[in-house]
Structure 1
Amino acid sequence: MTDPAKPTAVGELTFERAVDELERIVARLERGDVALDESIAIYARGEELKKHCERLLNAAEARVEKIRLDREGKPAGTEPLDEA
């Protein structure tokens, strides 16, 4: 059983849960009703969450880039996700 007072390790969060927590942190900081010490702590947690989300997005993008189908619908190689 997890301790509700102890937050989940950032690396264990799914992308969706990390974004949700990050949004809640941003909302609390924007309201300005958080003590200075707590603001610093949750800001640091927010930075960790942001980096975790970036890592997950980069990994997902790399997987998508590896997929390219030929005319028969079979994987044929890789191509960049965003072609300009």
Structure 2
Amino acid sequence: MTNTEVPQDIASLTFEDALKQLETIVRELEQGNVPLERSIEIYERGAALRQHCDKLLKSAESKVEKIQLGHDGAAASTTQLDPES
């Protein structure tokens, strides 16, 4: 698996499901009683899960818009939300 490839089973996960799996992997690795080969396998899966979560978050950020209301209360215009502000 290269850095840009995400396994199909991960690509179909929702953000919440991917995050749950990632949290499980982190807990398992933090316990320190995982055999080396298993550690490598779950670390690689964790990296793919993190990449998938990042992609989903960036997609959500690009869709979030700040609605500016006109004097009559109707949406006058929309602008991309600036994540830095």
- Read off the aligned partner of 2:15 and give its amino acid letter: F
- Root mean square deviation of aligned Cα: 2.0
Q: How many residues align?
A: 77
Give 5+ residue unaligned stretches, structure 1. Answer: 1-7
Write the deviation string for residues 18-58 of structure 1: whole angstroms up to 9, x where unpaired.
Answer: 00000000000000111100100000000000000000000
TM-score for both structures, normalised by structure 1:
0.79
- Distance apart, 1:75 and its partner CA: 5.7
TM-score for both structures, normalised by structure 2:
0.78
Query: Which structure has the highest strand share of the two?
Result: 2
- Distance apart, 1:74 and its partner CA: 1.8
Residue 24 of structure 1 is matched in structure 2 by 24
**Compared with structure 1, are the counterparts of its residues 79 and 36 closer, same or farther at alpha carbon in structure 2 (3 Å cutoff)?**
same
Structure 1 consecutive aligned stretches of length 4 or more whose deviation exceeds 3 Å? none
Give 5+ residue unaligned stretches, structure 2. Answer: 1-7
